[in-house]
Amino acid sequence: MTVTAPERPYRLAVIIGSTREGRFGPTVANWFVAQAARRDDVETHVIDLAETPLPMNLSGEPGPEAAAALAAVTPRLAAADAFVVVTPEYNHSYPAPLKNLIDWHRDEWQAKPVGFVSYGGLSGGLRAVEHLRPVFAELHTVTVRDTISFHMPWGQFDEDGTHKDGAAASAAAAKTMLDQLGWWARALTTARETHPYGS
């Protein structure tokens, strides 16, 4: 029997948005991926922008070098049913490499859900999330309401992404967001297969 899109695990791309030296993003991403791994309805893979840098000069006709860089990222975005963006807050907004990734793509984002995991100082990166929402809306995504934010997280995690105090509230927030992403991922996947977006 063929497994239909609503029955299979939804494919979730977890994007690490910071490339700064000494960044904390991979630690937070590891924690989130571990939360998702507890479920059987989601299949995660990580896109780390520090490991897959894209050219800063946007082009409608990328040359061979740019095309090779895009080939390492674009198919992975296209294959995803949903996205989670892990972002810090830099100067009340989000990192430039993340905006570059977003701007290099269009169809890959359309009619798919996006969730956010943020971290930072007193604001917990929430101002970066609020800047990202209208950007993704312009690209025809659905951003889920509930987010996860870590305020002053340094020293709260082990290197493997384990939260030292268990973080029951954060784990509950992850469950809520993954539930929402799953609902939207299945609904929108079915809709795209039944009636391609924009057609």
Residue 92 has pLDDT above 70, yes or no: yes
More confident residue, 53 or 156: 53
CA distance 116 to 108: 18
For position 1, what pLDDT does the model report?
A: 42
Look at the pTM and tell me if it is higher than 0.95: no
Averaged pLDDT for residues 98-116: 98
**Which residues sit opposite 83 in a β-bridge?**
13, 114
Is the model's pLDDT at 4 over the cut of 70? Answer: no
Average pLDDT, the chain: 92
The end-to-end CA distance of the chain, in Å, is 29
What is the per-residue pLDDT for 155? Answer: 84
pLDDT above 80: residue 5: no
Percent of the chain at pLDDT > 70 equals 93
Rounded Cα–Cα distance for residues 88 and 24 (Å): 8
DSSP-assigned beta bridge partners for residue 157: 163
pLDDT tens for each residue of 133-163: 999 999 999 999 999 999 988 888 876 678 8
DSSP state of 156: S
Q: Cβ(144)–Cβ(85) under 8 Å? A: no
pLDDT for 102 equals 98
